[in-house]
Amino acid sequence: MTQVQTRRERQREATYDEITRVSRELLAEGAELSLRAVAGRMGMTPPALYRYVSSYQELVDLVAFEIDKAATETFAAAADRLPADDHAGRLVASVTEFRMWALGNPREFTLAFANPIADVRCMRREMLTISNSGHLMTGQMRALWEHNHHPIPRLEDLPPAVRESVTDPLIPAKVDDLALEDRGLVWLFQQGWTTLYGVVALEVFGHMDPRIIESGEMFVHVVREFAPKIGLAEDIDRLEAMIRERIARR
Amino acid sequence: MTQVQTRRERQREATYDEITRVSRELLAEGAELSLRAVAGRMGMTPPALYRYVSSYQELVDLVAFEIDKAATETFAAAADRLPADDHAGRLVASVTEFRMWALGNPREFTLAFANPIADVRCMRREMLTISNSGHLMTGQMRALWEHNHHPIPRLEDLPPAVRESVTDPLIPAKVDDLALEDRGLVWLFQQGWTTLYGVVALEVFGHMDPRIIESGEMFVHVVREFAPKIGLAEDIDRLEAMIRERIARR
DNA sequence: TAAAGTATGTGAACGGCGTTCACCGTAAAC
DNA sequence: GTTTACGGTGAACGCCGTTCACATACTTTA
């Protein structure tokens, strides 16, 4: 079943890999992401790239997806430095790593997480649905809940739109095998993602006092505020220490 | 004291006004903001614009500032539809208007509120410091506090970086005449702005379940969660009704 | 094995972009 | 009334995304 790939298909996939690799190189070097620059570095002429992407926007989407994927690996690695049963620590480690990554790679963050989705009907939506970072964090929040069974909102108490959203999710979440009555957890995740996103985006864009960005106090505050909602009230001081240690490492 | 302006200075300011006016026209029409387009619509050649802005980025900054200013007027107008002594209502009205404006004008929102500030040493920082929307909302939060005197964090309890930030603010806040021991209010404002920004940015960029965006449930949730911190626990149901009424008007 | 077909790349071109520079009239300043 | 500085032009440069006709090399099929 492995070698159904023809030679051409393999070559094509290799080219796609090179496209995303080169694109990320350019971004990392502080250069602009452009079709011409990517083609040039690949030893191609610009029109050749159109055999792989149908427009510049599609290149951006492709790269954004790969950035999310690659970044998620570092988020996961941060968690894996902790014991497998320290679910709270693992979640906090990933979330903190997300913040540090975003601050250290603002262009990549903007591309993958602050790119307006023009039309709801484009492939972006589908890609979002299988977002890697989303899967990682929902998974970690779920693992934590299955361990400590903190209270979650009941489905009946949720507003109709929210209930629909959690029973039939479109946004990244690996919850197909999560019992329907436990879907309140997804609402909790969405809340957490919203606050996390707020502080990180504000920091990345610099629309916040530089001294607060530098110290990470708003990030710490946001995590502390959210912790009780997922049953981490007791553990919070240890978790804060973890966060501060990571921030100090810059 | 009024007519110290020479003829040339008046002409120059009129040109600046036309630049921002035309720029906002272009944005409103869904066109791209570009030096050439602005110049063209003004009946100028592109190089002429360089007598007024030294680069494209500076044009963007200029327009971003004007957008903030114009949008703030609509936020203020929403508040002014309520009695002068309904400080809670006025704040919520402005905040809700901000959310609706952002969703209705995503390009303008992105320009003014999601534009990365490259160098800390450019004029962007100063412009941010006098941000109109920031002034409006800090003013409203302060008026509310002076009326209900909800608890605020004590200066001694704040982390050092936060204490510095609130005693010597760089980010938009009209607090020069706010007693030093009451500056904990500024930290509260920063918290509120962070959560507000998170939900709105996430909605504007579409990185959230469309049904939740449409219904505004996450926005309502965020406001409800924040309300108790500024002494609005009792008033919250009325405020939520206000929000929902505004959302329903689309 | 030869022909047909398809996937992949090229070169030239178009229009648009930000930006620079030499140049020029005209309005203000002395 | 001369000088000076301001505001504007036209041409050009080097980027950009995108298109199209064309060539080449690989696969598939007869």
**Contact at CB, A204 and B116, closer than 8 angstroms:** yes
The pLDDT tens digits for B192-241 are 999 999 999 999 999 899 999 999 999 999 999 999 999 999 999 999 99
pLDDT of the residue at A171: 67
Test mutation, B202, B215, B243, chain A, max A CBs within 10 A: B202
Nearest alpha carbon to residue B136 among B103, B93, B86, B199: B93
Residues 31-50/B with CB within 7 Å of nucleic chain D are 43-48
Which CATH fold topology does A67-248 show? Tetracycline Repressor; domain 2 (1.10.357)
Question: Can you tell me whether residue B233 is helix, strand or coil?
Answer: coil
CA A4 to chain B, closest CA, distance in angstroms equals 36
Q: Is A39 on the interface with B (CB under 8 A)?
A: no
B46 Cβ within 7 A of any nucleic strand C atom: yes
The pLDDT tens digits for A122-162 are 555 555 556 789 999 999 999 999 999 999 999 999 999 99
User: Per-residue b/e over B182-203, b at no fewer than 16 CB within 10 Å?
Assistant: bbbbbbbbbbbbbbbbbbbbbb
Confidence of residue B8 (pLDDT cuts 50, 70, 90): confident
Q: Is A210 on the interface with B (CB under 8 A)?
A: yes
pLDDT of the residue at A175: 78
Q: Is A114 on the interface with B (CB under 8 A)?
A: yes
pLDDT of the residue at A6: 82
Residue B65 has pLDDT above 80, yes or no: yes
Test mutation, B211, B224, B225, chain A, max A CBs within 10 A: B211
A119: left (phi over 0), alpha (psi -120 to 50) or beta: beta
pLDDT of the residue at B119: 54
User: Per-residue b/e over A65-95, b at no fewer than 16 CB within 10 Å?
Assistant: bbbbeebbeebbebbeebeeebbbbbbbbbb
Q: Is A215 on the interface with B (CB under 8 A)?
A: yes
Residue B125 has pLDDT above 70, yes or no: no
Query: What integer best gives the mean pLDDT of chain B?
Result: 92
Chain B contacts of A105, Cβ < 8 Å? Answer: none
- Rounded Cα gap, residues A222 and B133, in angstroms: 23
The pLDDT tens digits for B71-86 are 999 999 999 999 999 9
Mean pLDDT for the stretch of residues B111-127: 67
Distance A11 CA to C1 C1' (A): 27
Question: Can you tell me whether residue B81 is helix, strand or coil?
Answer: coil
The pLDDT tens digits for A61-118 are 999 999 999 999 999 999 999 999 999 999 999 999 999 999 999 999 999 999 887 5
B29 Cβ within 7 A of any nucleic strand C atom: no
Q: What percent of chain A has pLDDT over 70?
A: 92
Cβ-nearest to A207 among B113, B120, B221: B113
Question: Per the structure block, which two tokens stand in for A57?
Answer: 């926007």
Residues 197-226/B with CB within 7 Å of nucleic chain D are none
Chain A contacts of B215, Cβ < 8 Å? Answer: 159-162
Residue A16 has pLDDT above 70, yes or no: yes
A32 Cβ within 7 A of any nucleic strand D atom: yes
pLDDT of the residue at A2: 40
Distance A182 CA to C18 C1' (A): 54
DSSP-assigned states of every residue in A77-90: HHHHTS-TT-HHHH
Q: Is B13 on the interface with A (CB under 8 A)?
A: no
pLDDT of the residue at A5: 79
- Rounded Cα gap, residues B94 and B92, in angstroms: 5
pLDDT of the residue at A124: 52
Range list of H helices, chain B: 7-28, 35-41, 46-49, 56-80, 87-104, 106-113, 123-129, 132-148, 160-167, 184-205, 210-215, 217-226, 236-248
Confidence of residue A121 (pLDDT cuts 50, 70, 90): very low
- Rounded Cα gap, residues A49 and A57, in angstroms: 13
Q: What percent of chain B has pLDDT over 90?
A: 84
**Contact at CB, B209 and A114, closer than 8 angstroms:** no
Cβ-contact A185, A152 below 8 angstroms: yes
The pLDDT tens digits for A172-186 are 667 778 999 999 999
Confidence of residue B130 (pLDDT cuts 50, 70, 90): low
Cβ-contact B91, B188 below 8 angstroms: no
**Contact at CB, B161 and A214, closer than 8 angstroms:** yes
Instruction: Scan for tokens 């209930």, then name that residue.
Output: A163
Name the nt closest to B54 by C-alpha to C1'.
C19
Query: What integer best gives the mean pLDDT of chain A?
Result: 92
pTM over 0.85, yes/no: yes
pLDDT of the residue at B118: 59
Closest chain B residue to A127, measured at CA: B207
Mean pLDDT for the stretch of residues B110-135: 71
pLDDT of the residue at A120: 46
Q: Is B207 on the interface with A (CB under 8 A)?
A: yes
B205 Cβ within 7 A of any nucleic strand C atom: no
Q: What are the boundaries of each domain within chain A?
A: 1-52, 67-248
Q: What percent of chain B has pLDDT over 70?
A: 92
Distance A83 CA to D8 C1' (A): 69
pLDDT of the residue at A118: 59
